């Protein structure tokens, strides 16, 4: 078995290939400020945040929904992103729940909060970054950025 593993390792090195990482996906489409679809048609919901909702059916879009969606779209659309998971991997809508990181290490969930593009939304049992997100939202509120800017309401 060892010779086979050695040969496989050499082949991978020589071909400049690396085994694929199942937790790295490519973003096909941003749905709104907290949800996107991968090229594998998997729906990903960002853990710990809640973005303003776009118009659905007869309901009006929430204030700042378009800006939040555009912000996430410009950050990750077409990009490869790394997914990290918490206690629960799926929600009741069968969406994959994840913390998302860009290739240049931007923590997308927190970046949305930092820029006032989403609200802190702790939801048990996925609370790995709950305290950090609360602090980040507090700073965004204090700085009056994005949804916290009183001039935009």
Strands, DSSP E only, in 22-151? 24-32, 35-38, 43-46, 49-50, 80-84, 96-102, 119-120
Q: Give the active site residues.
A: 45, 53, 95
Cβ(77)–Cβ(64) below 8 Å: no
What is d(CA 46, CA 33) in angstroms, rounded to the nearest whole number?
Answer: 9
- The CA–CA distances, whole Å, from 123 to 29, 76, 128 equal 25, 24, 10
């Amino acid at each position: 078995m060892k010779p086979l593993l050695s040969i496989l390792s050499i082949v991978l090195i020589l071909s400049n290939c690396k085994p694929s990482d199942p937790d790295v996906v490519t973003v096909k489409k941003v749905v709104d400020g907290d949800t996107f679809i991968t090229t594998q048609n998997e729906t990903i919901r960002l853990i710990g945040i809640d973005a303003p909702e776009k118009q659905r059916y007869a309901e009006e879009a929430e204030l700042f929904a378009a800006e939040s969606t555009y912000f996430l779209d410009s950050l990750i659309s077409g990009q490869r992103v790394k997914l990290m998971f918490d206690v629960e991997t799926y929600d009741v809508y069968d969406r994959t729940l994840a913390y998302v990181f860009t290739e240049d290490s931007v923590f997308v969930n927190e970046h949305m909060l930092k820029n006032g593009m989403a609200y802190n939304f702790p939801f048990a049992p996925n609370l790995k970054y709950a305290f950090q997100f609360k602090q980040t939202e507090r700073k965004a509120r204090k700085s009056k950025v994005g949804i916290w800017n009183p001039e935009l309401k």
